[in-house]
Structure 1
Amino acid sequence: MNLSTQLHQTAARLGEKPAYYFMDQASTYAELDAAVTKFASGLSQLGIKKGDHVALILGNSPHFVIGLYGALRLGATVIPVNPIYTADEIGYILRNGDVKTVVGLDLMVQLVEKLHEHLPAVENYIICESGQTEANSIDISKLSVFPKLKTFNQIIASGTLDFAPVELNEEDVAIILYTSGTTGKPKGAMLTHRNLYSNARDVADYLKMNENDRVIATLPMFHVFCLTVALNAPLMNGATILIVPKFSPAEIFRLTKKYEATVFAGVPTMFNFLLQYPEGKAEDLKSLRLCNSGGAAMPVALLEGFERKFNVLVSEGYGLSEASPVTCFNPLDRPRKAGSIGQSIIHVENKVVNELGEELPPGEVGELIVRGPNVMKGYYKMPEETAATIKDGWLYTGDLAKMDEEGYFYIVDRKKDIVLVGGYNVYPREVEEVLYEHPDVVEVAVVGVPDPNFGEAVRAFVVSKNPTLTAEQLLEFCREHLAKYKVPSSIDFLEELPKNTTGKILRRSLKDQVLQVK
């Protein structure tokens, strides 16, 4: 079984049910499945074959959903790309990923014009209409790339419903997800049809998603968290997706109230924005039965504050691109533990090991490793990196964790983020958790910086709601709750913290800024 076939079967069963709402317009499962088939047929007529690589440079939209499932139905390999990447970043992924066809917004035609001479392997650029005036002002017929340009609507119109889906093997590569590349160039994680299908199925079952659910998709669809939890898993069981082009607290409250949304998936920053939104009322979120948090560790103070204000359960989980992505979630039928990423989902094993790969007893900190049908095939064209990451069938995550006696896992920190102060390990998350407890702190990030006396020192960056709050007041607060070596050597106040497109706070960016100043 694969995602495309599953969608077709769901459409046969629930054809008239809304598959998604976008800009307050509904599209049924029958309409979605027909569009997917036509798009697959249209791609085939362009000469796209099984195994060819198709890049989606799109935001959250029906174009992304149809493009993804249409390419998969044809047997092509999809490469989702963040549309706000620079020309250099996009060009690297398209070249390294051996992309043959690009699907992107019409707003990108000038970038395409700039890149296409350096991308001889790309044969087709399929442009999706955005309806924005700046796109309409471009005369694409005068562009040198024009012969390679088609529109999304042209591809759909040229397709037919009698297109026969290509036979897929579960070990065929369905998607290549390029990691953010915090160390060196991005790596392309190859996810098979089995990887994606099994994780969507197991997440849907674990979170008890069904055809009565209405799931908010505001996380970026090109990111694996949204891809599985808010797109593939809901479509697996006939739920309705509420597609949000861009995260906005006001829009989340409006959509939840209007459509009686039942599931919201987000990163901690999104929950923080919702909690801080002055006009947000518990009444507006009363239809939610569940909120899922992932992408980064959620501060306990934030989790408890959100649940207290809105009276809705927040189930924190864990995943990574190389695992399609979910490996853990807090269970819905057993106690939820604040600060924990929960227990292993069905069919997936997690364990904590030392540097020799030996499993550690409960309570001890080590590296989290993962095994299951969701673990990637490897990194595209990077056999050495693959061998260093997957050993004896286990995926080494690079995250430090511990497990309690009941099998609940806790992320301590990224292995590379540990701050070594005079020989003592300081986990940034522990310091961040304390600072989040202060009533005037909105956001915080902690990094390690060079120190001539102790090797490294702890430095905190804080966003505060109180303009009179001082660094000394926060340091005194830390001294009451942390050992002396864990207390930040300095605290900087910022208007906002740097984040990536999913809303994840970028510690590395802050650390780089400090080093550049030095």
Structure 2
Amino acid sequence: MTTAVQVSPIYQRFRQFARSRADRPALRIGRSSLSYGELLRQVDALADGLAAAGMGSGDHVGVLLPNCPEFVLLLLAGARSGLVIVPQSIGLPAAAVEATLRAADVRHLISWAGIAGSLTAATCELASSRVTVGGSVAGWTPWADILDAGRKAPRSAPLLAADLPYLMVLTSGSTGRPKPIVLSQRTKILRADAAARLYGVSDADVTLAATPLYHSLAQRLVLLPLLSGGTCVVLEHFTASTWVDAVRGQQASFSIAVSSQLRQILAHLIASGEALPSLRCLVSSSALLDADTKRALLGHLRCDFHECYGTSEIAIATNLTPAAAASKLGSVGTAIPGTEVAILDRSGNQAPPGTTGEIACRTPMLYCGYYRRQAETAAAMCGDFFRTGDLGRMDDQGFVYFLGRIKDIIITGGVNVYPRDIEEVVASHPAVKECAAIPLADEELGEVVGVVVAFHDSVQAPGIREIQRLCVQGLGDFQQPRRFFVTHALPTNAIGKVDKPALRRTYSGLSEAG
């Protein structure tokens, strides 16, 4: 049986818009602004240059770049050529970069010049061709030379297998064994189209991406406008002020932001009194937004505000609409159209409404599996449902409530304690900026609850006894934190999620502080 072939579906859709609206703005990032016509010409030159450098369909290309125009060009040129793009954080230690790229069988490297020289010799030896962006490095081919080679020897867009892998998103990085998530071009198109339908995104929108481009969220926010004829704006680095400036200056109308960003944006908007009239729709993603921030955003913004739940393996699974937010503030919403969400008990059966279990999802936007991890891919499925590893419950109206990661459960004296319950109580104190509940080893109970807390004002912070009294009032006996630790800020990953493994490593052997 032969596999259907076609011109890259992502490139084909982008090219249609580029030819019909060549002068329309397509991409703005930093000081660069490219029309659709200019972007298409550069994408074609890059694709042909990469082919001349020996990068062909199905080849795995490691990418170590900050948010820059070259990253966006590579996403589109890689789609045209059938390359498998393997983006990774430039902030990882050299040994972690080597481990992740080796796990993905990378055979070519495209790196920011500033870090290329710091990569291990073994990492460089993985690659038969190496390209630098932003400067020259001995033994590497400059980006400009690749573009020049492509302009001198243009080629036709190749025909590709319909479901050829397109992206590998690596889930671990500096901790644990890297697990490359494989996504096809078809999957990325389905995800972009689903988001467009869900949030009403059209060619009239200016979409703002403000998370790292190596993550699937930012990739979706780039492809969404470029596959619908709109304008894409990418922040090189996020701060609340640069985000607000970009919305105002670029007249951005749509964005998906992570909860840590939204807390900073809200504080900036309240302090400045700005209203951002161009913003039509804003979505909270990635980590659960606390109820107080969600309530404040709903009261301050003059646009539609949604919250969604999903993972890199399944994309968006639920959506909390503005209409439902008032009565279901603590929820992440109901299943989006075409997707089914279930709560599974330990036996893999659907749990009754109101019962805590594992969130599972059946969706056409499912990933293609973990690369060369057949057993782990199979273990993640329960029939047609993907097991997310997240805890949640569903009420009798179908609204899902996210409770945290299964591996973050604290089992104290044989009783399950859910960190989210503790965190909501501690975070309700007005002096608390952020907090996290973590398991700490205990000889008698196995584990006890520890809480790491950061205050808005460390000088005028309340005593820990005041936080303890709050916990006594709001939590059951078995939920009471036994140890508290005070810090200036909780560690987070690149998209703003609290890094709980780092907290456990830091505080597991410490005595109480604060």
1:41-65 Cα shifts (integer Å, max 9, x gaps): 1111112111111111111111111
Q: Distance in 1 between matches of 2:249 and 2:73?
A: 25
Give the aligned residue type for 1:496.
A
The equivalent of 2:112 in structure 1 is 105
The equivalent of 2:56 in structure 1 is 49
The equivalent of 2:415 in structure 1 is 424
- Native 8 Å contact 2:30 2:68 kept in 1: no
Q: Distance in 1 between matches of 2:230 and 2:273?
A: 24
- Native 8 Å contact 1:178 1:188 kept in 2: yes
Q: Distance in 2 between matches of 1:339 and 1:236?
A: 33
- Native 8 Å contact 1:95 1:119 kept in 2: no
Match of residue 15, structure 1, among 9, 17, 22? 22
The equivalent of 2:464 in structure 1 is 471
Q: Distance in 2 between matches of 1:311 and 1:480?
A: 36
Matches within 5 A, 1:201-220: 201-220=193-212
Query: 1:120 Cα shift?
Result: 3.2
- Native 8 Å contact 1:341 1:410 kept in 2: yes
Q: 1:360 to 1:372 in 2, by over 3 A?
A: same
Unpaired runs of 5+ residues, structure 1, are: 130-134
Q: Distance in 2 between matches of 1:312 and 1:471?
A: 39
So what's the TM-score if we normalise by structure 2?
0.92
RMSD of the alignment, in Å? 2.1
Give the aligned residue type for 1:124.
S
Compare 485-494 and 75-84 and name the one that shifted more: 485-494
1:480-509 Cα shifts (integer Å, max 9, x gaps): 222222232232221111111112111121
SS at structure 2 position matched to 1:99: coil
The equivalent of 2:67 in structure 1 is 60
Q: Distance in 2 between matches of 1:367 and 1:204?
A: 28
- Native 8 Å contact 1:8 1:33 kept in 2: yes
The equivalent of 1:381 in structure 2 is 372
The equivalent of 2:476 in structure 1 is 483
Match of residue 218, structure 2, among 226, 241, 248? 226
Matches within 5 A, 1:236-255: 236-255=227-246
Give the aligned residue type for 1:165.
A
The equivalent of 1:132 in structure 2 is none
Give the aligned residue type for 2:263.
N
Match of residue 317, structure 2, among 327, 334, 339? 327
The equivalent of 1:127 in structure 2 is 132
Matches within 5 A, 1:300-379: 300-323=291-314, 325-331=315-321, 337-379=328-370
Alignment of 1:450 onto 2:441: yes
1:144-201 Cα shifts (integer Å, max 9, x gaps): xx1xx21222212221495322223332111111102586311011111222111111
Query: 1:335 Cα shift?
Result: 5.4
- Native 8 Å contact 1:204 1:236 kept in 2: no
- Native 8 Å contact 1:38 1:163 kept in 2: no
Q: Distance in 2 between matches of 1:446 and 1:117?
A: 39
Q: 1:286 to 1:480 in 2, by over 3 A?
A: farther
Query: 1:117 Cα shift?
Result: 4.7
1:307-350 Cα shifts (integer Å, max 9, x gaps): 33444443111121222x22222246765632222222233222
Compare 91-100 and 160-169 and name the one that shifted more: 160-169
The count of corresponding residues between Structure 1 and Structure 2 is 500
1:196-223 Cα shifts (integer Å, max 9, x gaps): 1111111111111112222221111101
So what's the TM-score if we normalise by structure 1?
0.91
Alignment of 1:69 onto 2:61: no
Match of residue 178, structure 2, among 182, 186, 191? 186
Compare 21-30 and 443-452 and name the one that shifted more: 21-30
SS at structure 2 position matched to 1:107: helix
SS at structure 1 position matched to 2:75: helix
- Native 8 Å contact 2:441 2:448 kept in 1: yes
Q: 1:193 to 1:410 in 2, by over 3 A?
A: same
Match of residue 2, structure 1, among 9, 25, 31? 9
Q: 1:454 to 1:265 in 2, by over 3 A?
A: same
Query: 1:409 Cα shift?
Result: 1.4
Give the aligned residue type for 1:153.
A
Give the aligned residue type for 1:272.
R
Alignment of 1:408 onto 2:399: yes
Give the aligned residue type for 2:310.
G
Q: 1:253 to 1:403 in 2, by over 3 A?
A: same
Match of residue 92, structure 2, among 72, 85, 88? 85
- Native 8 Å contact 1:50 1:76 kept in 2: yes
Q: 1:474 to 1:117 in 2, by over 3 A?
A: closer
Give the aligned residue type for 2:211.
L
The equivalent of 1:297 in structure 2 is 288
Match of residue 501, structure 1, among 484, 494, 508? 494
Q: 1:403 to 1:12 in 2, by over 3 A?
A: farther
Query: 1:81 Cα shift?
Result: 0.7
The equivalent of 1:33 in structure 2 is 40
- Native 8 Å contact 1:327 1:344 kept in 2: yes
Q: 1:123 to 1:61 in 2, by over 3 A?
A: same
Give the aligned residue type for 2:510.
V
Amino-acid identity (%): 26
Q: Distance in 2 between matches of 1:37 and 1:270?
A: 35
Q: 1:263 to 1:18 in 2, by over 3 A?
A: same
